[in-house]
Each structure stands twice: as structure tokens, then as C-alpha cells.
Structure 1
């Protein structure tokens, strides 16, 4: 009997609509197999942007740390789990969706958080990364206790990232980076506005027969991450590998000042690294 009950519970967390979360979009409107069709389809935007960003940031990652690719590899999983969640509205889909976002943030913290802002008891990035790992594991386990609080916790992390970014931008005089920061914050505000409006003003949007704001959140947040992570990576490159003379460009055309931002390394990296090491170490 105990084994049957356990199996039944496990099956339940994978069941359609087993999650307590239900977004504003009408359920099963376009397919009997997909609960929230537009929210599911908009999650595929992750699969478009992530491979492009992996390609664009490869020169920087190759020089700095190949582990940086983990951010956009994991963003592909965020898109996969988001699509699964909105297709089923299952409890397991919700947890996979939210926890994948948590781990993207954790990887970003471990790789990019400025060394000058480390807690006083942390002496190097390896120690800081282990600290972030332990906190993330504890948060992951704790999230199963109160799943509905996960989204709000994640947005709090986002606010802290914005604060840390603001602290770093005070030291930056590059006007192209300043412009990128404004675009990053603007996209994040637009994305979070869609999320909040869909969550708390659903009845208003239902009267207008426009219940797709959570889908637009997916699109705007991917772009916000592309802009924000590139800006953070650029600041990191200036701090950690200044000999490479990092610069900012936009793909597919830099003259447009729109599109997907990425880092170009203008310096001779091997020679520059040797000179930088000899000078400062």
C-alpha cells in the first residue's frame, strides 16, 4: 500500500494542471494537449537566442573562462523547462522551470560577481563559487517547501543583480557600455511589468481579450539577459583580462546599435597576457 501511494504521488506531480500556478492565458484554447499555447510557443525564443549568444561570446569565453558558456547552455534548459511547464502546468514543470532560472543566476554570480564586492571572509573566486553552490543547493531543496514563493525570490535576486550592476556602472565611463546598461534595465523593467501585469491584472486583460503578457515576458526577459549578461561580461573583461582590450559590438550590424550585443577582443591576447602578468604579478 505504501509503495502504491508513493507511486501515485510521483505520478501526480507530473500530471497536467497539478501546479498551483495558472497564468492568464486561456487553457486548452488552441490544443487539447497544450494548456497554455502562446506561453509554450514563446518559450521557444530561448532556443533561438541562446545558440547565437554562445557563438558571439565564444572569443571572450575562450580567453576568460570556458565555464561562461554554462550560462547560455543552461538558458536553453530554461526554455525547455518553461515550454514543458506551460504545456502541462504540472508541479514538476513548475519546479524545473523555476529551479533552472535559479541555477542560471547562481552560475552568473559565481563567474561574474566582482571580486571587490566579495564578503570580507572570502579570499578568492573559487571560495566564492563554493559558497554560491552551497546556497543554491540549500535554496533548491527549500523551494519544494513553498513552491509558490520561488518566483518572488528569483525576482529579488534580479533586483540584487541590478543593484550590483549599478555599483559597477558608477566606475564605468564607456558611453557604449552606459547605453547598453540603459537598454538592459529598460528591457528588464518591460519584462517584469509584463510578468506582474499578467499575474495581478488578469481580469483587466481578459476584458480586452489579450491574455498573452506572460508570453511577452519570455521574449523580453531573454533579451534582457542577453543585454545584461553581455554588459556584466564586458565589465568583467575590463577588470580580469584588460590586456585583451575588450569592446562592445552589436550583431548582426554594429551600426544599428540594436540586436544582440557581444564582446570583441581588440588586443593581442597572448602577448598582452604575458605583459600584463609581468607588470602586475
Structure 2
């Protein structure tokens, strides 16, 4: 049992040279870049709080779980242990599960499901089964998890056909661009390692960490905005960027311009 915690007990080894900067850290840059999760997640928790308070405080679980993704990612790349790999991948799986349970549009629910709570239980059961199945062939887990990205892109495309807000359209384009850049870094690090080693640049997986956090920030804000328009239209949701709405890039968040739930009851 102790072997699963041992250094380099995982079958996965990324392109970065092992122990290059520290005898205690297997992949130094991949480990350090994981701390970007700790920078963005608290900011997003703060920025999305007005929306979460109005919609459902469970929304915060997504970014709380993203902090755990950062913790387990750092642990995995520091040790390349089997347990680190599994914790890293399972935390990503559960972030996806929470997102699906909270935000998956009601109109796309299976016909036998009428309530979101029932859909959430279905997602929970599927996630538990998937959690167990991830232990069957761990080396394939990352590829399976990335396939969820394709479904999310498809779902986003379907939803954006109904959207005429140009700020949301721009956010969608940025979200897709960031995801494409992130997945390109991941694939290139995995399958073109010898090429990058010849250039002495083996840091694409670390860059993936940074870009994917930004892609999640953009993507979840867009999904939350579409959800707010459908679930709490009285709040008149809008999109802004932090720290300055006039900047070309920043962290997107939702502003509520209408009445709140409390005022609506009055």
C-alpha cells in the first residue's frame, strides 16, 4: 500500500526533466505552476459571490474544488506518485460533476427527469461509478477527462445559438481560444516531448496549468451568465471584467443589475 505514495510510482511522466532544480521535487516547474490555482480561485470566489448568493451558494463548490485541484496537482508533480495522480484526476472529475449538477440546462435534461435535484443525484451516481473506473487503467484517465471538454464545447455551442449578447459572444470566443491553447500545450507536451527537449523547452505542461485555469474562469463565468439569464432573469445579469472592465483581458464575472431574490418576494 505504501508504494502508491512512493516517488515516481505513477506510470505518467511529463516532459519536464526530473529533479532538475530540487532533489525533493520531481517536476519543479509543473509543481510551481500548479500554485496558479491558488491565485485565481479565491478571486473568482469573491467575484462570483453576488451571483452565487442569488442563484445557489453551491456555485462556490466549483472554485473551492479548483483549489483542491491545485493542491493535488502540486503534490502529483512534486512526487509523480500513483496516489498523487489519482487525487489530481479525481479532483478534476468532481469539479466537472459539480459543474454539470449546477449548470447543465434544464431543457437538456433526460425526459424522465423534471427537477434539478434529481439530475444532481444522477450526476452523483455516475461520478461515483466513474471514480471507481478511474482505477482500472489509470494511464488512460487524462484522455478520458479531456473528452469532457469536447462535450462542454458542444453544449456551449448549442447554448450560444440562443444568445445575442455581443459581450457574451466575445467571452465565448475567448473561452474556446484559451481551451484550444491549453489542450494544445497538453498534447504537445505529451506527444512531442523529444522536439521540445531538442529546444530545451520542456515547460508546456506547466503552461497548460496556467492557461487551463484561465479557460475555466472564462468558461464557467459564461456558463453561469447563460444560467442566470435562464434561472434568475429578474436579476438582469451582465458581464464585466476585473480589475478593469475596459481592459482587453481580465477575470470575467457577473453583475446583477435587477432586483434580488429578497426584493422579489416583497
TM class by shorter chain equals over 0.9
Residues 38 and 67 in structure 2, CA contact (< 8 A), matched pair in contact too: yes
Residues 236 and 257 in structure 2, CA contact (< 8 A), matched pair in contact too: yes
Q: How far apart are 1:272 and its partner, in Å?
A: 6.1
Distance 2:140 2:161 in 1: 32
Distance 2:215 2:174 in 1: 8
2:136 is matched with which residue?
145
Show structure 1 runs of 5+ residues with no match: 1-9, 276-281
Residues 54 and 261 in structure 2, CA contact (< 8 A), matched pair in contact too: no
Distance 1:265 1:257 in 2: 22
2:41 is matched with which residue?
50
2:252 is matched with which residue?
261
The counterpart of 2:99, out of the listed 97, 104, 108, is: 108
Stretch moving more, 184-193 or 158-167? 158-167
Structure 1 residue 175 and structure 2 residue 166: aligned? yes
Structure 1 residue 241 and structure 2 residue 232: aligned? yes
Distance 2:52 2:249 in 1: 22
Q: How many residues align?
A: 266
2:176 is matched with which residue?
185
Are the structure 2 counterparts of residues 174 and 89 from structure 1 closer, same or farther at C-alpha, using a change threshold of 3 Å? same
Q: Which runs of 4+ in 1 moved over 2 A?
A: 270-275
- CA-based RMSD of the aligned residues comes to 0.9
Deviations 1:59-87 (A, max 9, x none): 00000000000000000000000000000
Distance 2:108 2:85 in 1: 33
| SS of equivalent residue, structure 1 residue 13 | helix
Structure 1 residue 220 and structure 2 residue 208: aligned? no
| SS of equivalent residue, structure 1 residue 256 | coil
Stretch moving more, 264-273 or 221-230? 264-273
Deviations 1:157-191 (A, max 9, x none): 11101110110000000000000000000000000
The counterpart of 1:158, out of the listed 115, 127, 149, is: 149
Distance 1:126 1:268 in 2: 25
Residues 110 and 125 in structure 1, CA contact (< 8 A), matched pair in contact too: yes
Q: Highest Rg: 1 or 2?
A: 1
What TM-score does the superposition give when structure 1 sets the normalisation length? 0.93
2:5 is matched with which residue?
14
Q: How far apart are 1:257 and its partner, in Å?
A: 3.5
